Amino acid sequence: MLKSLTREAAYHEPDILMVRRIAPLCLALWLMVMAGIYIFDPEHYANIWLVIGGQLIAGRAYGVSMGVREEYHPFFIVLQASFQDIITLLLLFPMMVVGYRKAARISVIGPCIMNIREKAERQRKRIRPLGAVGLAFFVFLPMWSTGVLPGGIVGHLIGMRTSLTIFAVAVGNTLAVVTWILLFDLMRDFSATLAEWMPFIILVSAILGIAALQILHLRRVWRKRRALRRKQLE
């Protein structure tokens, strides 16, 4: 077991080293872009840091929802939400796939890392036959146990190259963000339409419910009468 882990670490060491080098650069560049946008238009993007913090704590769905409510441009939301998650993956990926046992001892983030690792390990057998496509679809799914961090660990556990893992995770995450934006608009329109038709829906539902109860009552009466007739004939 120890030898296999050593070989695995040696196999991924060049890619892990690359990730460790580019992660701080990507983070610095992304922060500069976000700060530049805030400085360029502080009124419209006054709450951009709240959106970033909300996504960091509650996930991409919450961040996208906040961005849509703030009326940010959809293209900006896609870039902000997608790149933020991928940068988070780049920063935590080496810690989660190589040094997760040491990181687990850290009181603040240790339990979170172990929880994500356990969820990813449970999905290992399901994703392995599907490869990169399955990994992208896994990240795309809007479920609690999916996302960029579990997706990155799953890609590592099934033996994918780090570069392919990050690419598949980025594709799945971007598609998830785009879909969430589209569904947010659809759900908002659906809610407005539903509010207009709600009185009619309630009335029709009440009528159908009363009719269904009456039918069930008549059916019980008919069954009792039929059973009584059978007894009389016997």
Could you read off the pLDDT of 166-202 as tens digits, one per residue? 899 999 999 988 888 887 766 555 444 544 554 565 5
**Cβ atoms of 137 and 126 closer than 8 Å:** no
Distance, in Å, from the CA atom of 140 to the CA atom of 143, rounded to the nearest integer, reads: 9
Winning range, highest mean pLDDT, from 12-21, 76-85, 123-132? 76-85
Q: How far is CA 207 from CA 203, 214, 219, in A?
A: 6, 11, 18
Q: What mean pLDDT do residues 42-65 have?
A: 83
109: pLDDT strictly greater than 70: no
7: pLDDT strictly greater than 70: no
Residues with Cβ < 8 Å from 174, sequence gap 6 or more? 78, 82
Chain centroid to CA 163: how far? 21
Residues with Cβ < 8 Å from 53, sequence gap 6 or more? none
Q: Return the structure tokens found at 13.
A: 């060491």
6: pLDDT strictly greater than 50: no
Structural domain spans, the chain: 2-188
Which pTM value belongs to this model? 0.67
103: pLDDT strictly greater than 70: no
Dihedral angle at the C-alpha atoms of 48, 49, 51, 53, nearest 10 degrees? 170
**Cβ atoms of 92 and 129 closer than 8 Å:** no
Could you read off the pLDDT of 195-234 as tens digits, one per residue? 455 456 556 776 777 777 778 778 877 887 887 777 776 6
* Averaged pLDDT score across all residues of the chain: 77
